[in-house]
Structure 1
């Protein structure tokens, strides 16, 4: 997913720098109900697609929630739902302040209003979901929206009943007065729409919360997912809709030279075969016809500029570069050379990390339809909606406000749908245009498309070096990271400063340990393999290298791994606190049964700090199994404790799969893996028992969708060393364990 450092992004085409004093709360009539949001004094008069219009004036929008005449509360989510629970979190914020009936809550995604939906963690300049920022950007604005709705409902009831507003209470969506008068939200929605919202609404104090922080609150959408009624892009069926599959270049950077589609057009159900800037699209009446037609197309590719190196060749180049001086420096403290010169002992290690696929459950897809009035509708997993809206408008030749995005729930993303070029969304629009907009078109990738034509977590090599003095104190540290930049030559190129892409070194250039002399260098490679942020981005590799190497240093110093870490942390720091909590809950000082071994790690990412202790067992033949993982988490104030536990549990499973057996390899530039027979995410029988302990905090929420991933790899690797005496330095683990 997107790194937290995107908070510094300012896009030149959109400026949304309004201060809090520029926001007023407003309400407006919407049929028989009300819609509540912020009144933005300098907003554009154009109404955002998917967002209700404020009939009171062209500068007023109410984009955060609606209440229908039947009392149903619909939260309008600026955050894309891909399984992480952002919809549930926003619903919790609104419902608690509103005192709504949880069973009457629903959520739908919206887009097209950057003033209202700009992610504050990204500087407010763009709507986007990622970097584990859903609660960060929503924490204040959605609670205020709920409080505003509550205020006008109370005012409406007070007016109708002829009683003071202060005497009215609300519980589970029902307003009540001591006189016995009661009424649901729907009974007062129309009248409330005409009442001005107070300029300043009072938010509840933590002691008054009923839903926020409630460990027993379950997700509002669980039943729909369990019974199969939840709708995803793959489920979209429009009248007359056609289905398209793509033929992408077999090598990254190859271009289409020519193709023969005569045989494909002869396949029953194939409607058309068209060229797009991203490859060839075979359009059929249904998916099977399109796939059979695709098999019949003959294509000639121009591979002159294609990437033809194998992953072995690339890794060999990376290792050679890692042994040289870095081309950029991300951090430098003290006198590193003097520190090493004075060290009593120097330890060195090299780490290798392969390309990784996102491998989300739902492969990429999108639906595009051009309407008779010239507007364009797009259904899809719109993780960067502003970007996709603009790109689509340019392809069709219309203004962005005529592009309506239907923000669909998605079966996973892990960063894959947060693309700069629109990817499958752009493909859908190009294909619809190529067939003359004669029918709606759904573009559906297969798993093989997703694996071979996707974007990947970059491959990296780390070269680490540490020096300790005669007492075992860490006095010098050097890290050299070699790999591709995710941000360079994209819309976020401005974030690459002095040759340093922050996503390449995050987690390496901000180690929490007190080390007087340290340097973190970076060498960015020029490789044609397309890369993208992947769940927890840079920390996927930096935390592994740092936390396993710290264990090596602790062993060289003759110290316990946890005690050694604590000696380099401020005693009351968040890192020290979660480390001690994990150690306590895991029983670090207690003996383990025979054949069991422990390892530890701690890492900060996306504003949260997570410590994990892993237990592994051995089969006596060199094999290991991860039996248990104990995690301690500081993610600020917890909106949905059950969801926090779920995200950490899921992150541990996600991270385990990556370190144990996942890798994307290339042969002569072509991806070798095509499906889950060769690319092996964690199988269910390999999932360990997971315990999650959440640190109580009054600080604002920080990220949680990703921080569970980075610590699990090094914790398991450190346990494996205790079990087998093997240091894991090459990913995935199978390369070392099966050697």
Structure 2
């Protein structure tokens, strides 16, 4: 997936930078050495530019290829690996160091990790900008971190070879030590100082997968102890001397502006330092209450008396919106696929279906927050950011500072699901505006802008509402003769820098990803993108959140209507063209006992398979109805993510994604609007799966030595359709919406 960035909110230089990725260009030596000092490098050095008189010196490597910014080896041999991604639950703070440590031949018990700051060295090597998203951390940095480890190892070996006056080819490494003939050996900590003076090799030889000793082994996360004991610090935990806390009273309808502010009672609340009128990033206005702590700030906000100007602002109502979407679905529109539909009217069997998917909140466990400290000549920011470079640039734009005057300290985050990769940078921009307003009011103190759960759920960005309509003609053998399909949904990339790539022929490709494949279907797919006054953005697994449900429900229904086993029918459609789909599905079926094991009375099987972000996940589930309430008992997963870097981490990611997918099935898991206002405000009225809802999981990986694919998002899409397919067999009718409606 591409991360959208509004063209209007970034400096022109950054707009050009994002449009033309810089990963292929080496950073100037002076700038990189400044960077090296800032991040505390301890191993390696940026290679000097080739002297004109020495043509044998290779051209400098790009910053993203330099061990210097990524590996620190202390004298006692402790290895610290810098991670160029945000850690927000996906385990990247373990997986990337594991990859580097494999090629470094490090002692894993002596490896630690830390999050990177903002620097060109930490750009995604494939995308040319610093980001975490699209299940790409391992997928795009797999080769990068292997080469970083291999280069660092080669430098350590060379340092030992020079110490012992031996050819480097006669030396070997194992678990953080270099070994030579005659019993010679030295720890990496002993060699690091000498190694940092050596040039970085331009080319290195990487291990064969058969030689891996760390990669592929189930590994406990490096941050597991801190998180399980409550010692892990997140962005919301940042504390600074004199820190104040701010909350913002936001308009009840998106885009609303203030008509009247009565702040007298708010200022009277003990601990309130300021009441400040501020513009908001989405174009509306708000009132920031700054206080000694969050409790005082919230009390002050509650005491405000505000009158809002909502004239001319669209007030979305969910019921009316659905009527409008249904009418729009009957109109002609741009087409993604355009197969001939002549066979539809004469098909011996017909199927018509409408699917509705609501707005969804990201609802991460850690609400949004951003801490800002202004100085006369710069600013420092602490936040959990999926795009720290873009966030820093947006802050610089708002504060009127040069980008190099912004320091952004990336903090671990308690979830995100796309919400911390915003094109609008709202939580960073709003925090900077509050800090500015405080400074104008004579308050020179750092401030933490805190979004409460209700702020986040009622005033954030959402997965769009989607309407699908399908008319399918097929024969008695289940052969699809024509499939006429319509999708109505807001575009999530329109108006952003990446919209010009994602939107082709008027269709946002993020809306249609997952449609048709892997099945060879004659499909006509029409798409409508209405403009609605509800801010939307991607949500974990993006378009596959709805397309997987539609495709796997309808394929399952055709199998049922023609009296075919749903697994056999899928495998026949997949054929030999998609071996990874087949392998994942067959593995899930085999390990689940599907077709061989008798289920308990009142239970049924459900099946679904889907690919997103390069990974295929197949689910075989066991479900029942308990007094009309759907219950999920067991989930057996077959996963084809190519080479598994950390099987334990993959299992955790799949379980988390599947549980998030389960949440979308449960009653109450919808964001609705009345008179322009979001109804839901907290977990009391926006359902997420709780402990009694959680099924047993069996996760199985298809063996592979191919480079790994994404794993953060692919586990979500097929869960809901597999569950729905099981319930359909028990209820005697198909489920056409999320959350499930059995009324």
> What is the TM-score with the length of structure 2 in the denominator?
0.91
Match in the other structure for 2:363:
359
**Residues paired across the two proteins, number:** 708
Matched, 1:152 2:152: no
Task: Provide the rounded CA distance (Å) in 1 between the counterparts of 2:472 and 2:650.
Answer: 35
1:72 corresponds to: 78
Identify the range of structure 1 (24-33 vs 445-454) with the bigger mean alpha-carbon deviation. 24-33
| Match for residue 104 of structure 2 among 95, 98, 101 | 98
Q: Is contact 2:66–2:200 with CA below 8 Å preserved after alignment? A: no
Matched, 1:726 2:723: no
Change (3 A) 1:111 1:325: farther
* Aligned-partner Cα distance in 2 for 1:4–1:630: 32
Q: Which residue of 1 aligns with 2:227?
A: 225
Task: Tell me whether 1:528 sits opposite 2:533 in the alignment.
Answer: yes
Contact 2:43–2:192 (CA<8 Å) still a contact in 1? no
1:310 pairs with 2:317: yes
Match of 1:49 in 2: none
Alpha-carbon distance in structure 1 between the residues aligned to 2:48 and 2:469: 51
- C-alpha separation between the residues in 2 aligned to 1:60 and 1:563? 50
Aligned to 2:267: 265
2:572 aligns with 567
Partner of 1:162: 165
1:660 alignment partner, SS class: coil
Alpha-carbon contact 1:23-1:40 (below 8 Å) kept: no
Specify the alignment match of 2:513 in structure 1: 506
Q: 1:539 aligns with which of 544, 549, 552?
A: 544
Residue from 479, 488, 498 that aligns with 1:482: 488
Residues of 2 paired with 1:171 and 1:306: CA distance? Answer: 66
Using the TM superposition, give the Cα deviation of residue 714 of structure 1 relative to its aligned residue in structure 2, in angstroms.
0.4
2:524 aligns with 519
Query: Would you say the 8 A contact 2:580–2:616 is kept in 1?
Result: yes
Map of 2:245 onto structure 1: 243
- Given the alignment of the two structures, is residue 676 of structure 1 paired with residue 683 of structure 2, yes or no? yes
Match of 1:50 in 2: none
Question: 2:42, 2:68 within 8 Å by CA — same for their partners in 1?
Answer: no
- The equivalent of 1:140 in structure 2 is 143
Checking the alignment, whether the CA contact within 8 Å between 1:551 and 1:561 is kept in structure 2 is yes
The answer (yes or no) to whether the contact 1:22–1:40 under 8 Å persists in 2 is: no
Per-residue CA distance 1:500-553 (angstroms, 9 max, x = gap): 011111111x421112x2111111111101111000011001110111111111
**Structure 1 537/311 Cα, relative in aligned 2: closer, same or farther at 3 Å?**
same
| Contact 2:384/2:410 (8 A) holds in 1 | yes
Instruction: Check conservation: 1:254, 1:305, Cα contact below 8 A.
Output: no
| Structural mapping, 1:408-419, within 5 Å | 408-419=411-422
* Structure 2: unaligned runs, 5 residues or longer: 6-13, 51-59, 281-285
1:197 CA displacement = 2.1
Shift of 1:570: 2.4
TM-score, with structure 1 as normaliser: 0.91
Per the TM alignment, residue 166 of structure 1 is displaced from its structure 2 partner at its CA by: 2.9
SS of equivalent residue, structure 1 residue 479: strand
CA contact (8 A) 2:23 2:125 kept: no
CA distance in 2, matches of 1:4, 1:701: 21
Equivalent position of 1:343 in the other structure: 347
Structure 2 CA distance for partners of 1:375 and 1:69, relative to 1, 3 Å: farther
- Tell me if the contact between 1:136 and 1:700 (Cα under 8 Å) persists in the aligned partners: yes
For residue 465 of structure 1, give the secondary structure of its aligned residue in structure 2.
strand
In the TM superposition, residue 412 of structure 1 has moved relative to its aligned partner by 0.3
d(CA) in 2 for partners of 1:78, 1:569: 38
Contact 2:45 2:198 in 1 (8 A): no
- Identify which of 552, 558, 561 aligns with 2:563: 558
The answer on whether the counterparts of 1:273 and 1:280 sit within 8 Å (CA) in structure 2 is yes
Closer, same or farther: CA 418–19 of 1 in aligned 2, 3 Å:
closer
Partners of 1:562 and 1:580 lie apart in 2 by: 9
Separation in 1 of the partners of 2:451 and 2:343?
A: 53
Aligned to 1:112: 118
| 1:710 correspondence with 2:710 | no
Matched, 1:282 2:289: yes
Alpha-carbon distance in 2 for matches of 1:282, 1:40: 52
Deviations 1:238-274 (A, max 9, x none): 0111111111111112122231212111111111111
Distance in 2 (CA, whole Å) between partners of 1:380 and 1:445 is: 13
The counterpart of 1:34, out of the listed 29, 32, 42, is 42
Deviates more, 1:341-350 or 1:238-247: 341-350
Is the 8 Å Cα contact of residues 16 and 118 (structure 1) preserved in structure 2? no
